[in-house]
Amino acid sequence: MSGTSWDGALGKLGFGAAGIGNLYRAMPDTQAAATVKAAWDSGVRYFDTAPHYGLGLSERRLGAVLREKPRGEFTVSTKVGRLLVPNAVGFSAKDDEGFDVAATSKRQWDFSEAGIRRSIKESLERLGLDHVDIAYLHDPDVHNLAKGIGEALPVLEKLRADGVVKAIGVGTNSAEAALECVEAADLDLVMLAGRYTLLEQPGVPFLDRCVARGTGVVNVGVFNSGLLARPDVPEDSHYNYARAPRALVERARALAGVCRGFGVELPTAALQFSLRHPAVVNVTVGASSPEQVSANAARMNEDVPEELWAALAGVRGD
């Protein structure tokens, strides 16, 4: 299955489930369930998760809602490369990778065929589903890109050929690593974080190559860690998970000012811009409340004047 066959198949907007894995802060099960249900009620039918998100909590919470829905009506992706194994410190410690959960398990890199098959099997158990549609190799550049390309990607190709999953890909923050993977394997999709946004577009050469290769791109991180997430950009905004440099705050404020001149709020422009490259088949956004989900869905469907994009390009210096 080529990546281009996913054009329109995922819908414009997907739901990223890191937040319901207690990313940065804990939430009750009821809030997590309500957030996923709000995504469904907003028309979202693509849901992305990973064992990494909350040490399996995201998969368990997502599956608790999705397994009550008709299986043929939604697409779900998870990720491989990190296994969850028992942690000797148990409940006495918190996870140290950004999720507010007890460290009852720990992550263990494993790009082997046995490890990847085990990862998918355990993800299905947590999700309570009989299959996932898409399997991404998660952050191979963080661990060992050469091993990911040489060992893990051939395994994913084999699993697709065997019908274990419908599509395969890579999830990464690095356009350079993503390009190496796309050139080395027959990938359907790449989940690329933060490299094609209204603020900056260093991933454009990679996206252009994906068009030529027939690889679809799921665009994530399109608010640049929150810098573009509000109509008015506050002084203490974050960028790449840290305090935003002053120059980027000013650039985001300039973009917001142009948007206001066209009667459009900055987050709306940020969401819709992120779909504009022909390689992008979906924009997936996380949320931690039903209200955030509903707002994102409304912004994605809002009418935006075409003239805005040319005006914003002038601010960015395109």
What are the distances in angstroms from CA 264 to CA 261, 283, 310? 7, 19, 14
Look-up of token digits 């299955």: 1
Q: How far apart are CA 173 and CA 207, in angstroms?
A: 13
Tell how strand 134-138 and strand 105-109 pair up: unpaired
- Of 24, 46, 53, 239, catalytic: 53
Q: How far apart are CA 70 and CA 83, in angstroms?
A: 28
CB count within 10 Å of CB 299 equals 19
Look-up of token digits 């997502």: 62
Nearest CA-CA partner of 287 in 276, 298, 302, 301: 298
Active-site residue, 241 included? no
CB 77 within 8 A of CB 137: no
What are the tokens at 152? 């893990």
Residue 65 is given by DSSP the state H
Residues with active-site annotation: 53
